[in-house]
Amino acid sequence: MDKVFKALADPGRRLLLDRLYATNGQTLGQLCEGMDMTRQAVAKHLAVLEEANLVVVLWHGREKLHYLNPVPIHEIAERWIGKFERGRLRVLAELKKRLQGETDG
């Protein structure tokens, strides 16, 4: 999970993920279009994303296509966001119980 957070810590890489979310399965050339970065920089960012399993590369004929892999983000949601959300719900449930207890008494 360290690799995922490190990969997500860069705005350029997040932008690449957003662009794959909008249009999945792009070549390096397509991803370079409109990016304020050199081709080498984009390739380097994609390698970091691939290493973190956030991006998956598939060869389609002679084209190397990049796909967004939803797994690590889903795991973050489960492991981090879900956990804190559950905590918040528990607090609310306890509050409700206490308030109801007061009216009962």
* x-marked contacts with another protein along 1-40 as a string, rule CB under 8 A: ----------------------xxx---------------
Picking from 19, 11, 6, 23, the residue whose alpha carbon sits closest to that of residue 76 is: 6
Closer Cβ to another protein, 41 or 71, answer by number:
71
Using CB atoms within 10 A of its CB, is residue 104 exposed (0-12), middle (13-18) or buried (19+)?
exposed
User: Quick one: which of 71, 89, 93, 99 contacts another protein (CB under 8 A)?
Assistant: 71
Kindly identify the residues of this chain, within the stretch 76-95, that bind another protein according to CB under 8 A: 78
Considering the complex, what minimum distance in angstroms separates the CB of residue 74 from another protein?
5
- Residue pair 36/3 in contact (Cβ under 8 Å)? The answer is no
100 belongs to the binding site for another protein (CB under 8 A):
no
Looking at the DSSP bridge assignments, the partners of residue 66 are 26, 57
70 belongs to the binding site for another protein (CB under 8 A):
yes
Picking from 51, 81, 7, the residue whose alpha carbon sits closest to that of residue 17 is: 7
- Residue pair 45/10 in contact (Cβ under 8 Å)? The answer is yes
Residues that bind another protein (CB under 8 A): 23-25, 53, 56, 58, 67-71, 74, 78
